[in-house]
Structure formats: structure tokens, C-alpha cells
Amino acid sequence: MKDGCSPQGQCGACTVLVDGAARVSCVTPARRVAGRQVTTLAGLDPLRRQAWAEAFCATGASQCGFCTPGIILRLEGLARRSPGAGPAGALAAHLCRCTGWQTILEAARLVTGESGAAAQPPRDYAAAARRAALEGGCPQAVGPHVACGEGGFADDTAPADALVAVPAPGGGWALGETPAEARRAAGSVEGRRSTLRAEAPLRVPPGDWDCTLRTCWSEPGYLELDASWCLPGGEPADPLANGGALGAKTRSAAAAAARRLADETGRAVRILYSRPDATRLGPKRPPVAGGANADGTGRLAVARTPGVVEAIAAVAPGLEVVEVDVAGPPTSADIRAAGALEALALLAGARGAAGPIRLPGGGEAAAQVAEKITVEVSCGRPLDEVVLRSYCIGAAHMAYSLVTSEAIATDADGTVVDLTVRSFGVVPAARTPPVEVTIVPSDAEPTNGSDSVFVAVAAATWLARGCLPVWPTDRRS
Ligand code: FES
Ligand code: FES
């Protein structure tokens, strides 16, 4: 069982079955389930658990795997209680940040027999893991065990007697014997969704532009919260776990803090962020505001972020980039295609055509967005088509969601005030267009393909929305 937002009850990671019905356990008091049967994924009938795990693996429905145990139990509860019901609506209670939903729906159809249980071709999981590492940017396991939540998450192996440390307001760490005690010591208040409107913080540089774009603060929203633990004198558990959140966790403070506090206290120390902690302190994509012309020239203002000017210059040399100091949460150029995506989308808008995208060191992708999202990707030997397709679908969803829906509000000081999972604006399964992926056969050396897909789908989505001048295009509150 996982914790992605407790006690918000909004991510679904902690879902269990209570007398066969799915319930989020973090908001279910123990007294309400007294005398009733509570089943976690580990307690599911082994053959049924294996069927779900193999189906998720066969369709690529589990990448990091943090969300998957809860989703499997939700779908199992649906299959038991409402066998004919479509699974997309049931997923509204969940957040999966990796997969883009479609492969999860395919896995559900495999298990319920709706799509016919075709024999699965043999897989080379080492090759699949290599493809996953290329796409995710850090080591990643692939196999049915990942769908069971066994991807190697730091907090799953923390010693039971470890001191718990949580971020304290104003910096530093608050300690306690339990998460509740540490959070009390920190004076933590459960985060809410604010009534403030999400705003694009930068202004478009003056000029006569064919096309302009401004973006808001948006939350990467990785599901496994920052966590680590360490024994005195030991090596801290890796907060990147199974995938690294596509760059968003690259500089997590959790591991260094676990090591330092363990050495200082002489005890095992477990670092644990809450969802509001990760939302306030975690890095965001640098917001931009820019104008461009059809000839590829233009000016782009971007929130000051080490490395972002270079990232933009590498893909859009005709854009003059101006870094701007802006009050707001931390930003990072490590986040998937940060700056490059926005620059290339702006140029596509100015040209009035998306065109193929090739990011430095990566493959090539082209995309069209209408009733469905169509993607073609060429990135060397696929190594494992299931994994590559899964990453391309996840990237397509992430791009579509970023352009149309994702934004968080900040107050006048730039402090993030939208602190709940539901306030991030991630497009749910029921509103995600189908994604069709064509993988171009190649014998070339494998390289990352899904980052180019991410950019290509963002540009195509924006063009399909008429290049409205502010992202997200569909959500202004
Ligand atoms: S941890 Fe319970 S719903 Fe997120
Ligand atoms: S696989 Fe769903 S959050 Fe990573």
C-alpha cells in the first residue's frame, strides 16, 4: 500500500478493498471498518494478483509502479461489483503521472476478457529496462513485480524504529518518532486548494510578433513523494526510486538530509515529504513568456533557472532568451524538456505548423492532435515495443495535459497555495483522447524517443487549440 497524498484522499495510491469495494484507506477511520474484510494487493488471491500484474506488464500500464497497487484494487472492486462498467470513470479517484491512462484501460480489458486474452510474446526484461531507463532518464525495473508496487521505493524499506524527519516551515527539519509526531512538531497544516486564480507570472517582451505564449506555474505531480532513509554512517536510500519522475526528483533534498540527520542523531532517520511539502518545495517548470515570428526569430522571457538558457539555445537559436527574477517556487531545467518544449511550441505556433521534433541526443517524433492523438516516433532499436509505446503514450498525455489544463496558483509572495492533488489540473482518463503510436523500425543505436513525443504533442495540441496566448488553454481558474 502506498501513500501519495494522505490524508487528502485524492490520489488513490492507498486504495484497499473493504468487503470487496474500493476505498481510499487514508481517509477511512479504522473504526469504520471494524469487523469488515480489508484486502490490500498483497492479500488478493495470488492467481488474481498475478493476472493483474501480468496484464499491467503486458500493456506497459505500470512504469514507476507507485500508483499501480491502488489502481489494480480499484479495477478489481469494479470487476466484482459492476462487471459491465467502463473503467475510465473509476480511475477518476486516482493519479497516475507516468502512463497517460490508456495502457491501464487496456490492462483492465485484458483481465476482464473484453479484449480477448491473446498470448503474450516472450519479453526480454533486461532490454525492456534499458528502454525504460532511456525514456525515464534513470535506472528503472520492468516486470510484473513492478505492478505489485515492488519497484524499490525508499520508504518501503525504512526501518520501523527510524526517527521521522519532515520539512519544517522556513527551512530545516522537524523530528518525531512517527510521521504524525514529526508533522505536529513542524506545525504542518494540511494543504488545501485555494480560491486564487493561476496566473502566468511573466510578460511577453515588447515586439511585433506573429505568435505569443505565456505559461503558468505547473506542478510535476510525481506520485511517489520525496523520501529517503539512512543509518548513521550509511548510504541513504535513493529518492529517485523507480524512474526519477522524469527529471523532477533529480535534485531531491531527501537523501542528503537523511544522511546528515542520521549522523547527527546517531539513529536511523526516515525523511518523508507530505503532498503539500512536495508541492511547495519541489521544482517546477520555469514559466515563460515570449513572442516569435515565422522566420524563427523572437524573444523569450524565462524564470531564472540554471541551465535553461542553454537548453533553449540548443533547440531554438533564433530566440533571444532573457532570464527574469520572479517570485515563485523553485524551478529546474532538469524537468523533462524544460524551456525547450515551450520554445519549440512557440516557434511552431509562429510558423503555423508543428513539424517533426528532434531534441538534442534524442530521436525524432511527429504528432497530430484532433479527436485522437497520433504519434510517430523514430528512436533507434525499440528494445521493447511495449515499454517504448507506454512512454510515448505517457508523454502524449503529459503534453496534452500541460498545454490544456495544468496550473497552480501562487500568492503575492510567490508561495504555492494550491496544495492538493486535484488542484494540479492533470487531465483524467475519461477526458484523455486516445493515443495511437507508430514506432518506426530502425537498427540504429537506441536513444530517447518520448521526450521528442512530449514536445511534438505539446506543439500539435497548442496548434489544435488555435494557439491561444496562455497555457493552460482550457482552464482559467
Ligand atoms: S494516499 Fe490516500 S488517497 Fe492519496
Ligand atoms: S506508473 Fe502510475 S504514477 Fe508511475
Per-residue pLDDT for the chain (477 aa), expressed as one digit of tens each? 899 999 999 999 999 999 999 999 999 999 999 999 999 999 999 999 999 999 999 999 999 999 999 999 999 999 999 888 889 999 999 999 999 999 999 999 999 887 766 667 789 999 999 999 999 998 999 999 999 999 999 999 999 999 999 999 888 999 999 999 999 999 877 777 778 889 999 999 999 999 999 999 999 999 999 999 999 999 999 998 887 788 888 889 999 999 999 999 999 999 999 999 999 999 999 999 999 999 999 999 999 999 999 999 999 999 999 999 999 999 999 999 999 999 999 999 999 998 899 999 999 999 999 999 999 999 999 999 999 999 999 999 999 999 999 999 999 999 999 999 999 999 999 999 999 999 999 999 999 999 999 999 999 999 999 999 999 999 754
Amino acid residing at 99: T
Does any ligand 1 atom lie closer than 6 A to the CB of residue 3? yes
Q: Taking each helix axis from N to C terminus, what angle separates 340-351 and 450-464, rounded to the nearest 10 degrees?
A: 40
Whether CATH 3.30.365.10 fits 339-471:
yes
Whether CATH 1.10.10.10 fits 15-124+142-149:
no
The strands making up 373-378's β-sheet, listed across from edge to edge, are: 357-358, 364-369, 373-378, 435-439
For ligand 1, mutation pick of 2, 23, 26 (most atoms within 8 Å of CB): 26
Measured from the Cα of 11, ligand 1's closest atom is 4
Residue 227 has phi, psi (to 5 degrees) of: -155, 150
Q: What pLDDT does residue 476 have?
A: 53
Domain boundaries of the chain, sorted by first residue: 15-124+142-149, 339-471
Does any ligand 2 atom lie closer than 6 A to the CB of residue 286? no
Q: Cell numbers 462487471 label which residue? A: 83
Contact predicate 303/328, CB 8 Å: yes
Residue of 79, 66, 328, 102 whose CA lies nearest to 219:
328
3-state DSSP assignment of residue 158: coil
Judged by its nearest atom, the ligand closest to the C-alpha of residue 391 is 2
CA 101 – ligand 1 centroid, Å:
18
Q: What pLDDT does residue 189 have?
A: 72
Residue of 432, 467, 463 whose CA lies nearest to 99:
432
Residue of 239, 268, 241 whose CA lies nearest to 254:
239
Q: Cell numbers 485484458 label which residue? A: 110
Q: Residue 107: CB partners within 8 Å, gap ≥ 6? A: 52, 55, 56, 58, 59, 61
- Distance, in Å, from the CA atom of 3 to the CA atom of 277, rounded to the nearest integer, reads 14
For ligand 2, mutation pick of 10, 66, 72 (most atoms within 8 Å of CB): 66
Does any ligand 1 atom lie closer than 6 A to the CB of residue 274? no
Measured from the Cα of 10, ligand 1's closest atom is 3
Judged by its nearest atom, the ligand closest to the C-alpha of residue 59 is 2
Characterize 373-403 residue by residue with b for buried, 16 or more Cβ atoms within 10 angstroms of its Cβ, and e for exposed. Answer: bbbbbbbbbbbbebbbbbbbbbbbbbbbbbb
Measured from the Cα of 223, ligand 2's closest atom is 3
Element (H, E) at 261: helix 254-265
Q: Cell numbers 521526450 label which residue? A: 451
CA 149 – ligand 2 centroid, Å:
10
Residue of 361, 363, 356, 396 whose CA lies nearest to 382:
363
The strands making up 15-18's β-sheet, listed across from edge to edge, are: 21-24, 15-18, 38-39
Three cell numbers, residue 417: 497555495
Q: Taking each helix axis from N to C terminus, what angle separates 68-81 and 102-112, rounded to the nearest 10 degrees?
A: 40
Q: Which residues pair with 301 in a beta bridge?
A: 289, 322
Does any ligand 2 atom lie closer than 6 A to the CB of residue 340? no
Q: What pLDDT does residue 193 have?
A: 72
**Cα–Cα distances in angstroms (integers) from residue 83 to residues 46, 63, 113, 218, in the given order:** 20, 26, 11, 37
- State the DSSP string of 364-384: EEEEEESSSEEEEEE-S--S-
Does any ligand 1 atom lie closer than 6 A to the CB of residue 93? no
Q: Residue 269: CB partners within 8 Å, gap ≥ 6? A: 162, 163, 164, 165, 175, 229, 230, 258, 261, 262
Q: What pLDDT does residue 114 have?
A: 74
Judged by its nearest atom, the ligand closest to the C-alpha of residue 28 is 1
Q: Taking each helix axis from N to C terminus, what angle separates 125-136 and 385-404, rounded to the nearest 10 degrees?
A: 20
Q: What pLDDT does residue 461 have?
A: 98
